Structure 1
Amino acid sequence: MKIPVARKRIGLLGGTFDPIHVGHLALARAAQQALPLDEVRFLPTGHSWQKQGAATAAEHRLAMTRLAVGDTPGWTVDTREIDRAGATYTVDTLRELREALGPDLALVLLLGSDQLRNLATWHRYRELLQHAHIAATQRGPHRLAEFDPLVEVLVATHGCDALPDAPAGAIVFFRMPPVPVSATVLREALARGERPAELLPAPVLDYIDRHHLYQDGAARG
């Protein structure tokens, strides 16, 4: 009897990536191994409606993301959110990907615990699970517990111990090693002239130096 082949799984890691750092990469590696995933797509945001203030220009954030991803097996960069005009909504990205890739493969939206805790503030958040699974991991001090009541209902309804062999619809948790880093702290350190080489991929740090990013008075937006 022929054993059916499990459907392909694509993990989706979105973020401003301003700049992309070792914490982002650690999350991607942990998800790739734990779930497991055939591919991880990094999706730099264009204009994030939830974040106030100007981000570093999209061309720089995209370039840094491509440098960080490099030739890592199974990792790719998707530019659709940067290419899209107007505000960036995750639900629209998932709908576009589902239409482009078809109904059968599994899409897995990768979130840190801080993002999951705020999920009820996302645009049309209840529709996310129509297009993808959600896989969350603890990041920083934000525990995977004591959620907003609306998120609690979502987890109670869709939570699973393991990612099912289905295209979408489940919420699962996975572990990653603690990586104490935040993009805000990194930008502040870079603005002071520091070079936190342990927190940034070497090609990304070189790019920041070469383009004088995050320095006091450096152009953003």
Structure 2
Amino acid sequence: MALHLVYGGTFDPIHFGHLAIACAARDALDCTVRLMPAGDPPHRAPPGADGATRAAMVALAIEGVQGLVLDHRELERQGRSYTVDTLAELRDELGPSKPLAWLVGADSLLGLPGWHRWRDLFALAHLVVAERPGSALDAQLLAGLADALQDRWTRQAADLQSQPAGRVLRLHQPLSHVSATAVRARLAAGASTADCLPPRVAAFIHEKGLYGAAARAPL
């Protein structure tokens, strides 16, 4: 049974690091990756661009990329974007036996105890954890998190196909030091973003004057 894999995030803006993670997950798990921009994320400051704008940038970034699709689900919901609500909604639609997974960065996994009803996530979906520079997955985890993950780790992608939820897979992929925070800082400073933004996304940002970028051709 094909895995239903969702990659949630603010994508503020989407950059090459996001795309590398999505493509690595697509290839490792042999499935379509649904990129889902968050509407009103409760665990961080409000995004610099509104939901429709961030979704438009995701659409530009993944156009023509096989196996990556845009999912507007969280943008269409009113109120805060709690992952547990999104996964519960998806589980209701997919049924109890369909494999469902949520793709997150290692930094997000380490902060999982701060998420709304975080322990309920494991009954709803698998977690696929993308390694990130500076995120110490091998270091000492918070006690509650370590206990929750202890018997869930797997190295086998097939384990995510054979059961609907509850496993945690570590996704090995080329590590990128690109971050949305750094990209926004470069844009505001008028610095080049050629090594971190897809050209169509960079052109869109400059056209709209997003993140303090001058309305001119991108460098």
TM over 0.5: yes
- Please state if 1:189 is matched with 2:189: no
Match of 1:37 in 2: 30
Hey, what's the Cα distance between the residues in 2 that align with 1:51 and 1:147? 21
- Please state if 1:8 is matched with 2:8: no
Hey, what's the Cα distance between the residues in 2 that align with 1:38 and 1:137? 16
Hey, what's the Cα distance between the residues in 2 that align with 1:100 and 1:207? 34
| Greater Cα shift, 209-218 or 117-126 | 209-218
Hey, what's the Cα distance between the residues in 1 that align with 2:94 and 2:190? 44
Using the TM superposition, give the Cα deviation of residue 216 of structure 1 relative to its aligned residue in structure 2, in angstroms: 6.6
Hey, what's the Cα distance between the residues in 1 that align with 2:199 and 2:22? 18
Secondary structure at the residue paired with 2:190? coil
Using the TM superposition, give the Cα deviation of residue 55 of structure 1 relative to its aligned residue in structure 2, in angstroms: 3.0
Secondary structure at the residue paired with 1:47? coil
- CA RMSD after TM alignment: 1.6
Determine if contact 1:109/1:134 at 8 Å carries over to the other structure.
Answer: yes
Match of 1:3 in 2: none
Match of 2:127 in 1: 134
| Greater Cα shift, 85-94 or 190-199 | 190-199
Determine if contact 2:124/2:166 at 8 Å carries over to the other structure.
Answer: yes
Secondary structure at the residue paired with 1:85? coil
- Please state if 1:200 is matched with 2:194: no
Match of 2:147 in 1: 153
- Please state if 1:22 is matched with 2:16: yes
Structure 2 gaps, min length 5:
none
Q: Structure 1 residue runs of 4+, over 6 Å off?
A: none
Hey, what's the Cα distance between the residues in 2 that align with 1:74 and 1:168? 22
Structure 1 gaps, min length 5:
1-6
Match of 1:171 in 2: 168
Match of 2:95 in 1: 102
Hey, what's the Cα distance between the residues in 2 that align with 1:193 and 1:143? 32
Structure 1 length-normalised TM: 0.90
Using the TM superposition, give the Cα deviation of residue 157 of structure 1 relative to its aligned residue in structure 2, in angstroms: 2.5
Hey, what's the Cα distance between the residues in 1 that align with 2:30 and 2:98? 11
CA displacement 1:1-48 (0-9 Å, x = unmatched):
xxxxxx1112211111000001111111111122x1321000100011
Hey, what's the Cα distance between the residues in 2 that align with 1:161 and 1:190? 38
Match of 1:48 in 2: 41
Hey, what's the Cα distance between the residues in 1 that align with 2:75 and 2:14? 15
Which residue type is aligned with residue 104 of structure 2? L
Secondary structure at the residue paired with 1:157? coil
Tell me the percent identity.
37
- Please state if 1:180 is matched with 2:174: no
Determine if contact 2:206/2:214 at 8 Å carries over to the other structure.
Answer: no
Structure 2 length-normalised TM: 0.91
